[in-house]
């Protein structure tokens, strides 16, 4: 069974641009969560989706948005990029909300210059 | 709000020895899960061990075990017979199980970087 797939693995963007990151969960998983990992702030929860509905949102500005498609694939979008958005973005999937384990992808490393 | 604290930014252990990583948390909830995740240089987070708060028995997975002290809100990880492959960043994490537990939102500590010396 394929694991959680995040694309692209690496990305370099310029301040002010926007970016879209993709996460394909493990087959059969309907719950997807996103996290931002930075050296200064550590791992912070961004959003959680289940069956195309956002169930939870972290404390991030409105520039950060996400969505989930009917096939459970999820995207997150960051508009008007700032230098501080440089981070590793991790996606995790589970069969359903409240499942005992979250399975993580390898992340997308975003660098904003 | 719930918080997770890892007070040891870095730890070092000799191969084949035992090391304990500390974690404390704060919550007013009675039902929750606690996890230890490992993040090697490949960056992929891997679940090491899980503890349900309602279980008094400490969880064990092969060389990994926890000391769960619910009243003290402490959740330490013991790694026995340390191996070179154990070198990684270790994160303690909290997940609420309230309201039927219908969330996968994890609250992470700041991590402990474990080095294993040959």
The full DSSP string for A7-26 is E-SEEEE-TT--EEEEEEPP
Chain B residues whose C-beta sits inside 8 Å of any chain A C-beta: 33, 37, 42-47, 50, 91, 97, 100-111
**Nearest chain B residue to A99, by CA:** B104
At B101 the pLDDT is: 59
CB contact under 8 A, A98 and B50: no
**B22-78 per-position pLDDT tens digit:** 999 999 998 899 999 999 988 899 999 999 999 989 999 999 999 999 999 999 999
H, E, C per residue of chain B? CCEEECCCCEEEEECCCCEEECCEEECCCCCEEEEEEEECCCCCCEEEEEEECCCCCCCEECCEEEEEECCCCEEEEEECCCCHHHCEEEEEEEEECCHHHCCCCCEECCCEEEEEEC
**A92-112 per-position pLDDT tens digit:** 999 988 888 899 999 999 999
Percent of chain B past pLDDT 90, that is, above it, reads: 86
Percent of chain A past pLDDT 90, that is, above it, reads: 90
């Amino acid at each position: 069974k394929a694991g959680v797939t995040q694309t692209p693995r690496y990305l370099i963007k310029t301040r002010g641009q926007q970016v879209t990151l993709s996460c394909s969960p493990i087959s059969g998983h309907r719950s997807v969560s996103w996290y931002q990992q930075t050296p200064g702030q550590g791992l912070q929860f961004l959003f959680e989706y289940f069956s195309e509905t956002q169930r939870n949102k972290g404390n991030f500005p409105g520039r950060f948005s996400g969505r989930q498609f009917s096939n459970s694939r999820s995207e997150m979008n960051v508009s008007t990029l700032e230098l501080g958005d440089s981070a590793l973005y991790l996606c995790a999937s589970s069969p359903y909300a409240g499942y005992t384990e979250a399975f993580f992808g390898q992340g997308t490393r975003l660098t904003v210059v | 709000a719930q918080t997770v604290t890892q007070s040891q930014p870095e730890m070092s252990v000799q191969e084949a020895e035992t090391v304990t990583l500390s974690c404390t948390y704060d919550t007013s909830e009675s039902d929750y899960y606690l996890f230890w995740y490992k993040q090697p240089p490949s960056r992929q987070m891997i679940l090491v061990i899980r503890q349900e708060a309602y279980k008094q028995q400490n969880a064990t997975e092969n060389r990994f075990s926890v000391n769960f002290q619910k009243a003290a809100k402490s959740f330490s990880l013991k790694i026995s017979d340390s191996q070179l492959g154990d070198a990684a960043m270790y994160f303690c994490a909290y997940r609420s199980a309230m309201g039927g537990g219908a969330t996968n939102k994890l609250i992470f500590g700041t991590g402990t970087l474990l080095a294993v010396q040959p």
